[in-house]
Structure 1
């Protein structure tokens, strides 16, 4: 992947599977969801989301199908992970399982495909539904394919939602809820011999990932919530034009849109104000309702993982 806004060629679009852990104690943190969803998701501890909310489950699946259709209309090759098997679901036990945000369990930087390690226990096997795609597409290619070491209690943890790519500059968010210092150090050690510079970006403890605070639109233009960037913009982005969003907008996923290329951007109609500012700057904006996906604390970027972005 050349950058976050290089033309999208091949992308994986998420499935919509979630069975919550038996209790909040298993998570070790509060559930990272949109604030308005807390009451809704309190009803699913130890249960499959679709069993509790069948209508919302159908709407959730329809959102991802609609997202795939929009991307195909723009000429993007769309792949989908498989669903979990019954044996995989059973093996997770009280921990639960998630197969709903393909952005996080693996990611691409340049011609490197990297399997990360997710901190929340119910997401630890989320890479498995994508692995057949990776074996099919990446193994025969010239790309490098690596994985983090198996984590101990203290990591390493490294999640794709924390990783933003700008050429040879890689920014990695660190809030403590997802990627940790050891995960950042591992990525830097791996990538720096290939000419990449890896910059850590400190995030407040309540912010799950960097893409919940910052999104790149095109060269020189970004969307950011300054309240979620206590040290300001990362060094590679200083001097860029910023479309600012509030803490409330960021919590609802205003920074989590998806550039199809440097001229075309996908976002939710909830963020029409941001969309209007993008249009004023010559960006074509398409809107798609991802309101169910946003309940889980993610939107367009979280629901997709590029296998190939290249000019």
Structure 2
């Protein structure tokens, strides 16, 4: 299989979609990785396996409609494997293994059947000191956008997933690209003040548009750079509540087709006004774990 990812929106041909099967019991608060999951564990509203399986099945149906080849991880009993974007990501023809939280290492081994099709020569394992997850990495033609956190208190945040070492390593791997890093706002306790990944507060769509949330960025100038890069008329600004509900975490099948959560009324209306075809799916239960459509998909080939 020859990988090819140049950007976020070219026509999708092959993708890894996570799985909600055998997700295991509701985690303890101590074992949760993000403030939104903790919030739902405390409230007794943590999503059920059946509901999440149904939501992911709806995405499979959309992929079938557009003739996308879908790979799924091998099932690990009692283990959360929904968010395949965290474990690896593709830039050009290379798959880069993410250095994720140690507790989640088994998720990567569960896609070995896909890795075998790619071949070792096209798989890159970053040095141990490079922390990175796919939700923070966005190839965008001549650019690679990366969400990061470089504060001295990095190690205090379970929500800080991509460090400066990883940004430097990716720049060295792709010297012909412009790597642009963005400092993200982090909180272990308040999901409305936490951008877990870059795709929780920003995502390019179509050819020249983007979804953006100002408060997700620690440095206002970096937010303004994105606003100017895409142009105000091409940017859909989401509110704090919309960011909390993961409005920026939709997923592009092509430059014209976007999979979105069915409750994102304001966003979906804007997308249609801009000429997009919006494939609406239910994904509100999965969103309770601070991830949505982009988080649970890992594109392998785009045209």
Report the TM range for the smaller structure's normalisation: 0.7 to 0.9
DSSP-derived class of the 1:232 partner: helix
| 3-state secondary structure, aligned to 1:127 | helix
Take 1:102 and 1:273, find their aligned partners in 2: how far apart are those partners? 27
Q: CA deviation at 1:122?
A: 2.8
TM-score (norm 1): 0.81
- Residues 224-263 of structure 1 correspond to what in structure 2 (within 5 A)? 224-229=212-217, 230=219, 231-234=222-225, 238-240=229-231, 241-263=234-256
Alignment of 1:269-280 (within 5 A): 269-280=262-273
Separation in structure 1 between the aligned mates of residue 171 and residue 24 of structure 2, nearest angstrom: 32
Structure 2 residue 206 is matched with structure 1 residue 218:
yes
- Local SS of the residue matching 1:117: coil
What is the Cα deviation at residue 236 of structure 1? 9.7
Q: State the number of aligned residues.
A: 276
Q: How does 1:162-201 map to 2 (within 5 A)?
A: 162-175=136-149, 176=154, 177-192=160-175, 195-201=176-182
- Does 2:77 correspond to 1:73? no
Give 2:125's aligned residue: 147
Deviations 1:133-159 (A, max 9, x none): 111x2118xx7211122x3xxx32110
- 5+ unaligned residues in a row in structure 2: which ranges? 155-159, 187-193
The one-character-per-residue Cα deviations of 1:113-134 (angstroms, maximum 9, x if unpaired) are 111111x343233211112211
- Structure 2 match to 1:101: 83
Residue 118 of structure 2: which of 126, 130, 138 is its match? 138
Aligned mates of 1:133, 1:115 — CA distance in 2: 13
| Residues 225 and 246, structure 1, Cα contact 8 Å, conserved in 2 | yes
Structure 1, unaligned runs of 5 or more: 45-51, 90-96
Q: SS at the partner of 2:34?
A: coil
Contact 1:212/1:250, CA 8 A, preserved across alignment: yes
Query: Deviation at 1:74?
Result: 1.1
TM-score, scaled relative to structure 2: 0.83
Rounded to whole Å, the distance in 2 between the matches of 1:104 and 1:237 is 28
**2:11 is equivalent to residue 7 of structure 1:** yes
User: Aligned-pair distance for 1:39?
Assistant: 4.1
Give the aligned partner of residue 57 of structure 1: 49
Alignment CA distance shift 1:56-1:20 (3 Å): closer
> Counterparts of 2:91 and 2:227 in 1: how far apart (Å)?
16
Alpha-carbon RMSD: 2.4
Q: Closer, same or farther in 2 for the Cα pair 1:18/1:186, shift >3 Å?
A: farther
1:298 and 2:286 aligned = no
Within 2, Cα distance between the matches of 1:237 and 1:111?
30
Deviations 1:54-95 (A, max 9, x none): x821111111122111111111111111111x5xx7xxxxxx
1:21–1:122 CA contact under 8 A, matched in 2: no
Partner deviation per Cα, 1:274-297 (whole Å, 9 max, x = no partner): 010111111111110101110111
